[in-house]
Structure 1
Amino acid sequence: MPSAAERTRTLVQSTCSAVLLIPGVEAARPEQPTPLARAVGTDGEVFLLFPADSPAVRAATHAQDDELSAVLEITDVAPVSVPQRIRGRAWVSGWLTCVPGLAEPGGMMLRLEVGDLYVDDLWGASGVEPEDFARASVDPLVAHETELLQHLHSAHGDQVQGLCELLGERADGACAKDRRAVPLALDRFGLRVRFVGERCFDARFDFPTPVRDITELRRAMRTLFEAASHTSGPSGD
């Protein structure tokens, strides 16, 4: 499974929605706390792009070095319609400063020096050390996950439903006609499916080996679908 540091770094560098919360700073418009772009530096610091006239930039401009605390809150929402659609949240707290010269005119780059990190997602809840976050890798599928899940849901719904056959003793309930299977999350280690009915539950289908790109993902998904079509009950999780 991906480590808590990997999951947090992947969320930070994904397209998930994010807001920057600064104690004592209130935004006049709902979009103002949302960075225009974000990236992670080589030392694990988080760079956030804002309009130069935003409340966050004004606060950072007037603050002394390392005195302005802030929290970047990231919310991960499933890209397909499913009950309990929020898949996870991550919080990155630290100290905010301006970095002049990195943004185009009209913008300002802010640097969030990381102090504490916490993730609460489909894998569980865990704190993350800043050093681990700085060294962590981003999941190679993160840039394509939304498109891939939507494609699986719309074009391969029957095959996703057929994965219920891999659940062993749980297969009878999962394969019931009144239960539908929705692809919920995808990473280099496998696919998570939510089986929706009177009672919802998730099942994880691991790939034989972690995938590194879309080509390897296609082979891994084909292996899963073929295994489900040729068996009535090897193990799932």
Structure 2
Amino acid sequence: MFRPGSPLPGAGSARGGGPGGSAGAAAGAESARRGQPRPEAEPDERRPGAAERMRTLVESNASAALVIPGADLGDPEWPGQGACEARAVTPEGDVLLLVPAGSPAARAAAHARDGDLAVVMEITDVAPVAVPHRVRGRAEVAGWLTPVSGGERASCARLMAERHPSGPFPGAAWTPLRLEVGEGWIGDLRGEGHVEPDEFAAAAPDPLARHEAEFLQHLATAHDDLLRGLCSLLGERERACGAWEAVVPVALDRFGLRVRFCADGRGFDALFDFPRPVRDASGLRRAVRALFEAGSAS
């Protein structure tokens, strides 16, 4: 499964910042004194697995950077040279990357012996709405970097255009590289986990990921009253509803909506489960409408 000498991602405990998942329906826990709110663990059947969450993050627009052991990526002529401007995943589970042409990362891949360039791609996920402790998670994908060969460039360009229709595209300014996945780690609002290559290849990204940012921004700017209405579903915590200065939708996936209740530098997350996993945007609208109706009726 792994090549000898596989570059290991940092252990979750060393990275920190990845809070565990929250309890079902509308449960939460008090925030830690520092860092993200840390809800209680949720049942496995009500949470996406680590492979799905990592696949979702890899295929998202979250910022990513390459770390190549032994390579000098601090060339002042190439600020941000370790950045991956676009990403896509092949059916085999390899990650296609676009990096600036002529950058140290592109040169290192071009001059390395075939498959010998170890690399770690670091991804940081930031909430698309203004909220305390805005970093929602981090992932590391370790593997081996190679240039995309001439015969593969056409299929790479098609996959990139499908994933990023507005560009950038392989060409004079951008060099396509292939990251063969060796192993991965993710730490986010739902917990931490290691991911093996076959798990990553078999996983599918969350179907709501492409809608999440726009949907959360819409809720945050236009539906504060409905979000505050969810407080009535919090059980014992309902007594503190009037004390929360901000009620912010912080994350969304096919299983539910996560809302952060904040006041005076403290707060907690509550995960409001959908009755069943949502498959598309129309199903999402129905699920959220039913959730808000339940809040207003309580």
Partners of 1:107 and 1:191 lie apart in 2 by 37
Q: Could you report, residue by residue, the CA deviation over 1:77-106 in whole angstroms, capped at 9, with x for unpaired residues?
A: 011111111000000000111113323334
1:18 corresponds to 2:64: yes
Moved more, 104-113 or 159-168: 104-113
Look up the match of 2:36: none
Q: Report Cα offsets for 1:176-201 as digits up to 9, x if no partner.
A: 24432100001111100010013210
Q: Distance in 2 between matches of 1:153 and 1:100?
A: 45
TM-score (norm 2): 0.75
**Which stretch shifts more, 19-28 or 114-123?**
19-28
8 Å contact from structure 2 (residues 117, 146) kept in 1: yes
Query: Does 2:94 correspond to 1:27?
Result: no
Equivalent runs, 1:128-167 vs 2, <5 Å: 128-167=195-234
Task: Say if 2:231 and 2:295, in contact at 8 Å, map to a contact too.
Answer: yes
CA distance in 2 between counterparts of 1:192 and 1:178 reads 16
Paired residues for 1:79-158 under 5 Å: 79-101=128-150, 102=153, 103-158=170-225
Tell me by how many angstroms 1:69 deviates.
0.4
Match of 2:270 in 1: 203
Indicate the SS of the match to 2:147.
strand
8 Å contact 1:100–1:108 — kept in the other structure? Answer: no
Shift of 1:42: 1.2
Q: Do the aligned partners of 2:243 and 2:263 also contact (CA within 8 Å) in 1?
A: no
Q: Give deviations 1:42-81, integer Å, cap 9, x for gaps.
A: 1111111122211111001110012110001000001111
In the alignment, what sits opposite 2:280?
Answer: 213
Match of 1:44, SS state, is coil
Answer yes or no: is the 8 Å Cα contact 2:51–2:199 preserved in 1: yes
Equivalent in the alignment of 1:70? 119
Residue aligned with 1:212, SS? coil
Mapping for residues 155-234 of structure 1, pairs under 5 Å: 155-173=222-240, 175-198=241-264, 199-231=266-298
Q: Secondary structure at the match of 1:221?
A: helix
Tell me the distance in 2 between the aligned counterparts of 1:23 and 1:215.
45
Question: 2:51, 2:203 within 8 Å by CA — same for their partners in 1?
Answer: yes
Q: Distance in 2 between the 1:69 and 1:60 partners? A: 10
Q: 1:5 aligns with which of 51, 65, 82?
A: 51
Q: Secondary structure at the match of 2:269?
A: strand
- The number of residue pairs the alignment matches comes to 230
Deviation larger for 175-184 or 157-166: 175-184
Using the TM superposition, give the Cα deviation of residue 161 of structure 1 relative to its aligned residue in structure 2, in angstroms.
1.2
Contact 1:211/1:217, CA 8 A, preserved across alignment: yes
Q: Is the 8 A contact 2:138 2:187 kept in 1?
A: yes
Identity, % of aligned positions: 58
Mapping for residues 49-64 of structure 1, pairs under 5 Å: 49-64=98-113
Describe the SS at the equivalent of 2:56.
Answer: helix
Bigger fraction of residues in strand: 1
Higher RCO (CA < 8 A, seq sep 6+)? 2
Q: Which residue of 2 is the match for residue 235 of structure 1?
A: none
Letter of the aligned partner of 1:171 in structure 2?
E
Structure 1 unaligned spans of 5+: 232-237
Unaligned runs of at least 5 residues, structure 2: 1-46, 154-169
